[in-house]
């Protein structure tokens, strides 16, 4: 690419023009990252915004979002901001964005979105309830220990829990 530059000082003395080669520094997107707002606990029914940030020269033109569903078929959306209203526990998962400009593309690391599910309906005294605990860890968690609220620091020693009404 050539840019025409005029030498104003010499132009006053004589009519001369100079041509210089100007190098433009371009690069694909870099420092691609995902932020989730609000931070902290996200409960079913609330709204969440995922934002993809990056820099590139020329500026990023396209943002593509991916959610890991399984290894072969990721879900995807476009836009720098991905908003989820009335979020559900099914929206939990790992999200990644890819930033693209004319020089190339770069993807963020996967960011985990966890949606907390609130119990629905009443739990009848004496009924059976299933409690599930999960976490993301590397290495993966091998064992979980349950504790009863108000039960001190002793773990609960049974896999069967019965719900009793508190007075």
Q: What is the third-level CATH fold of 27-116?
A: Immunoglobulin-like (2.60.40)
Helices (H), the chain: 8-13
**23-49 pLDDT tens trace:** 678 999 999 999 999 988 898 999 999
> Over 50: is that where the pLDDT of 96 sits?
yes
**46-65 pLDDT tens trace:** 999 999 999 889 999 999 99
pLDDT at 12: 45
pLDDT at 124: 78
Please tell me whether residue 43 adopts helix, strand or coil conformation.
Answer: strand
Tell me if 94 sits within 8 A of 112, measured CB to CB.
Answer: yes
pTM: 0.60
d(CA 11, CA 13): 5
Tell me if 101 sits within 8 A of 25, measured CB to CB.
Answer: no
Give the pair of three-digit tokens for residue 35. 């932020």
């Amino acid at each position: 690419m050539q840019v025409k530059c005029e030498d104003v000082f010499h132009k006053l003395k004589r009519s001369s023009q100079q041509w210089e080669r100007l190098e433009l520094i371009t690069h694909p997107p870099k420092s691609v990252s995902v932020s989730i707002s609000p931070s902290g606990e996200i409960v079913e029914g609330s709204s969440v915004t995922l934002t993809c940030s990056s820099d590139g020269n020329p500026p990023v033109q396209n943002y593509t979002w991916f959610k890991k569903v399984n290894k072969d078929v990721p879900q995807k959306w476009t836009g720098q901001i991905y908003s989820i209203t009335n979020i559900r526990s099914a929206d939990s998962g790992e999200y990644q964005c890819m930033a693209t400009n004319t020089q190339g593309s770069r993807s963020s690391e996967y960011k985990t979105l966890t949606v907390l599910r609130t119990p629905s309906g009443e739990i009848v005294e004496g009924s059976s309830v299933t409690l599930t605990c999960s976490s993301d860890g590397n290495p993966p968690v091998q064992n979980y220990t349950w504790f009863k609220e108000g039960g001190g620091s002793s773990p609960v020693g049974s896999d069967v829990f019965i719900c009793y009404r508190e007075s």
